[in-house]
Amino acid sequence: MTEIDINNLPVFPLYDYHYASWFEKIIPNGSTLNAEQRQELVRRIDAGVAINVDYIGFITNCLKELEGKDSDYYNIERVITNASLFTALTSADCMVACKYFLLANTDYDRRYMRGKLQVILNEGIKKLIGFKPDDNKGKVWTSITGIMNHFTGSEYRRQFAELDGLLKRHAAISSWWRDERNAETHLDPRGILESRQRELDESTVMLESLKLIGAIDAVSHFLQNLHAGLTNWLNDLYRHHPEKFTGE
């Protein structure tokens, strides 16, 4: 068994992220990518998806390790890990939908992919935080809120309050393509036809996807701070009470 050097355990930093930058509004300029720009963007999307896929594999293994374990520490770890799985998977799905929207070579294909992307945008923000103050059952942000009493440092609470306000305002900015989601999900032919006949602007579609990806990225970075704090607490406990880990 590998010996652990108590005096050399890492201390992970708490980063002061500017969360508002993930929610800044960008105005579409109506431009269409040329072949070279499209290929480069698809390459970057593939790279981003690959990172998420690797992370999803890591998270899956972590969740298996947490099965059957019950304590405050493990329950907090489970909330953070499940929330991280949501952010990684939803972000990857959104990027893949964007990729195939960009690669679609017929008008029908592009309108179809826009509709499927709008489903992800609606369901993603709904699962993340919901659309109403009392719409919190099963929401990812609700689960994170439920463990914040364990993070007593003022910086954790400040960042949480900042991100909480940003997410709630963000969810309330629009209906998040509710009608389009309902039509696509329930295969409502009239609703689908009406939705898909609307003007199709490539830059608008791509920037709309960033409304979800940006919010998820902000939450993902906050989760990294929470996990760093949890790991620091565990390392500090080991430094001062190694007998709790060795049984001696």
Map out the domains of the chain as residue ranges. 34-232
Structure tokens at 84: 């991280």
Distance CA 5, CA 8 (A): 5
HSE-up of 147 (CA within 13 Å, CB side)?
22
Rounded to whole angstroms, the Cα distance separating 51 from 30 reads 30
Over its length of 248 residues, how does the chain's per-residue pLDDT go in tens digits?
A: 455 565 667 788 999 999 999 999 988 888 889 999 999 999 999 999 999 999 999 999 999 999 999 889 999 999 999 999 999 999 999 999 999 999 999 999 999 999 999 999 999 999 999 998 777 789 999 999 999 999 988 999 999 999 999 999 999 999 999 999 999 999 999 999 999 999 999 999 999 999 999 999 999 999 999 999 999 888 887 766 665 555 54
Alpha-helical runs (H) found in 67-106:
72-103
pTM of the model: 0.91
How far CA 160 is from CA of 80, 109, 130, in Å, comes to 14, 40, 17
Measured in degrees and rounded to the nearest 5, phi and psi for residue 147 equal -105, 0
Give yes or no for a contact between 101 and 117, defined as CB atoms under 8 angstroms apart: yes
Distance CA 126, CA 142 (A): 12
C-alpha torsion sign, points 24, 184, 99, 203:
negative
| Residue type, position 201, single letter | D
